[in-house]
Amino acid sequence: MSLASADAATDTAAAKQSHLNSSRAHVDALLTRFRRTRKFTNALCSGLEPEDYVVQSMPDVSPTKWHLAHTTWFFETFVLKKFFAGYRTEIPEYAYLFNSYYNAAGDMHRRDLRGLISRPTVQETERYRASIDSHVDELLSGGDEKLLDEIEPILVLGIHHEQQHQELLITDIKHVFAQNPLYPVFRKRQRHIAAEKATPLQFFEFEQTITPIGHDGRGFAYDNEGPRHQALVPRFLLASRPVTNGEYIEFVEDGGYRRPEFWLSLGWMTV
C-alpha cells in the first residue's frame, strides 16, 4: 500500500470513528435528558404516602398516580409503539385509563372520575414507569442515526410534556392537601426565609414600544408560542419586586376579594 493510500485509509477510519462518537454523544444527551426528567418526577413524590396518590379534590385536579401513569403512557404510545419493533403493551387497558385528551390515540376515561380509580396500585404504576423507561433506554441505545432523527422530536416533546405535568402534579397535590384539616406539608422548608421586611415597593415606568414576541425558531416550542411577530406594548408600570405573602394576606384581610375595583370583569366574575 502506498503512503497516500495509507493516509486516505487512516483519514476514512478517523472520520468513521468521529461520526460514531458524535452519534453516541447524541444518544447519550437524549438519554440524559429523558432520565433526568423522569427521575425528577419521581423525586417530587418522595414525601408522599400511597394514600396521597389517589385523591382527586375537584374535577380540575388529577391524582398524583394519574400524572405518573399518563406521562408514561405518552412515551409508550408515541415512542415505543411507533418505533420499537415488536413492542407489545403489557396492559392494554392503560391506554384508556391514562389517555387525557388525545382523541386520535383512542377513547379515554372521564377526567372528573380519575379519583375513583384505585387500580392500578401505586406500586403497579411505579413498575409501569420503570418498564417503559427501560424500553426507551433500550430503543435509544440500539437505534441507528436515521431512527434517532425520527424519534428525537417526539421524545423531546414527551420530555416537555412531562415537565408540564410536574408543575400540574405540584399544584394538584397542594390543592389536595389544602382540603385536609391536618394541613399536611408537601415540602418542608428547604431554606431559611429572612424575617426582615421586604424592601419598599416601587414602580418603574416603561414607554410604549413595538417589540417582537413569540418563538424565534431556536430550540423547542409549542405551536401556540409562534409565529414570531411584532406587537404593540402600551406604556406600563412594573414593580421593583414580587408581592410578598404578607402583602397578599393584607390584601385579602382588607377586603380585596370583595371590592370589584381591583379586578378585571372576568376575574371579578370568578371570585
For residue 78, pLDDT over 60 is answered with yes
Q: What is this structure's pTM?
A: 0.81
Assess whether pLDDT exceeds 50 at residue 168: yes
DSSP assignment, residue 190? -
The confidence score (pLDDT) of residue 15 equals: 44
Q: Judge contact between 36 and 149, C-beta under 8 A.
A: no
Cell of 123: 406500586
Q: Give residue-wise pLDDT tens across range 178-193.
A: 999 999 998 887 666 6
Burial class (CB in 10 A: 0-12, 13-18, 19+), 109: middle
pLDDT bracket for residue 143 (50, 70, 90): confident
- Residue 234, sorted as left (phi over 0), alpha (psi -120 to 50) or beta, turns out to be beta
Instruction: Report pLDDT digits (tens) over 101-121.
Output: 999 999 999 999 999 999 999
In tens, the pLDDT along 205-215 reads 999 999 999 99
- Cis? peptide before 227, omega within 30° of 0: yes
- Of the candidate ranges 124-128, 130-134, 138-142, 161-165, the one whose mean pLDDT is the lowest: 138-142
Return the domain boundaries, the chain.
Answer: 3-178, 203-270
Strand segments, DSSP code E, in the chain are 203-206, 209-213, 229-233, 236-239
CATH architecture for the domain at 3-178 = Up-down Bundle (1.20)
Q: Are the C-beta atoms of residues 208 and 215 closer than 8 Å to each other?
A: no
pLDDT at 64 (0 to 100): 98
